[in-house]
A = this chain, B = another copy of it.
Amino acid sequence: MPRPRPPPPPPVTRRRRTAQEARDAILDAAERQLVASGPDGIRLQDVARDVGVSHPTVLHHFGSREALVEAVASRALDSLHDDIVAALRRAPEGEHQVAALLDGVCEALESRGQGRALMWLALAAPAGHRDDLRLRAQAEVLHATREARSAGRAMAPLEDSQFLVVLAASALLTQSVLGAQLLRGAGVTGAKAPARFRAWLARLMLAHVEREG
């Protein structure tokens, strides 16, 4: 007779969510952990406490820690991708197009720490496992725009547009991870330094495009 009645359990009333609500809440908490401490920093106990459930509940919904990490990583990358696509679509026409575009992507990378999440995952990935940065389409759009503008004049090769996209992605991603740290390290001061840097980068890219076609 092993303890037929454990000490009368405190008459707490359990909250019962739908499976979807529970999964979402758990993913939210896990994503915060991912951004803050990386995939290895995701602890079932912490996530559970954050959501207000016990850790077996997390396992009930995701099966294993590994599956949870996979789920949160997929969701974060998809959401980042969607945000970036939305930012690109939102970019206005005209002179300040590039600057606004960079600002939009920057917002997508930094608003919820998605840039950090991406970098964590890239570092932790077992040697090129996640290789879908999905920049190809953006490079092609940029190149098509340049072709339309050039109107038959000398035209830079496709690789030039690809490199431009890679350069912008590198700069914005690094900014989202290192924050103002890199700028401060170089001696740039002021609260608006990141914004100034983005504007400068936009001018640099624009000048390059106008020079090279």
Contact = CB atoms under 8 A, between A and B. Distances in A.
Interface of A: 37-38, 40-41, 116, 119-120, 122-124, 128, 131-136, 138-140, 158-160, 162-163, 165-167, 169-171, 173-175, 177-179, 181-188, 196-197, 200-201, 204, 207-208, 211
A170 B181 contact: no
B139 A187 contact: yes
Interface centre among A124, A131, A182, A184 (most CB of B within 10 A): A182
Given A40-B40, A170-B174, A186 B128 contact: no
Nearest to A120: B123
Given A140-B187, A165-B186, 19 more contacts: A122-B177, A131-B184, A132-B185, A133-B178, A133-B186, A134-B185, A136-B186, A139-B187, A159-B196, A162-B183, A162-B187, A163-B188, A163-B200, A166-B182, A166-B183, A167-B201, A170-B175, A173-B174, A207-B208
A204 B207 CA distance: 10
